[in-house]
Amino acid sequence: MKIGRWIVAVTLAGVLPAVPAGRVSDPVRIVALGDSLTAGYGLAANDAFPLKLQRALAAKGIAADIANAGVSGDTSSGGLARLDWSVPDGTDAVILELGANDALRGVDPKVTRGALDTMLRRLGDRHIPVLLCGILAPRNMGAEYGHAFDAMYPDLAKAYGAILYPFFLEGVATEPKLNQRDGLHPTAAGVDVIVEKILPAVERLVARVKTEARKSP
């Protein structure tokens, strides 16, 4: 992630007062931490989810800088391993979208839950609000696996007070016209649907950032 993406405030001693850490700036600085669904696998850079979401927010008068911290093929454990450098100091909020590759590889749901749990705890310790994006396990993994996997997202969101978006691919999964040939990754039109559907939850995330900022001394 390029440091140049952030607005750096330089304080002149004796001239300007220091800005307390965590104070909301304009734009709101969001990190989209995820896998290929976030990274924009198979798409032009301008069609990736973070940039399209940023433009959708701007159209509603919400200034946001959304960093694309998506890594194709990443699992929840991989996201945990890179959490600290993917979410640098100065981040106001995180959109957490991980778990799809865990499900496709049949990773034990306990492992996935553990990684997501640790990420939510560590982000909470840093007072960074999170929008947790749920993933549904493929139905061919069996009912027991699917139940254990699907349930972890609402459970974790409730435990940590995160905003939950139940299914990241809502309205896109299984729709041939909205997916690339692999049937797994959305087309540019599919990303448009994702952005449209998730936008209200992201607006709640931004509102939460601003509310927390007003509470800061």
Which residues are known catalytic residues?
36, 182, 185
Q: Are 216 and 21 in contact (CB under 8 A)?
A: no
Peptide bond into 27 cis (omega under 30): yes
Q: CB under 8 Å to 107, separation ≥6 — which residues?
A: 75, 76, 101
Element (DSSP H or E) covering residue 28: strand 28-34
Asked whether 130 and 162 are in contact (CB, 8 A), the reply is yes
Q: What is the rounded distance in angstroms from the CA atom of residue 113 to the CA atom of residue 126?
A: 20
Strand runs labelled E in 41-126: 64-70, 93-97
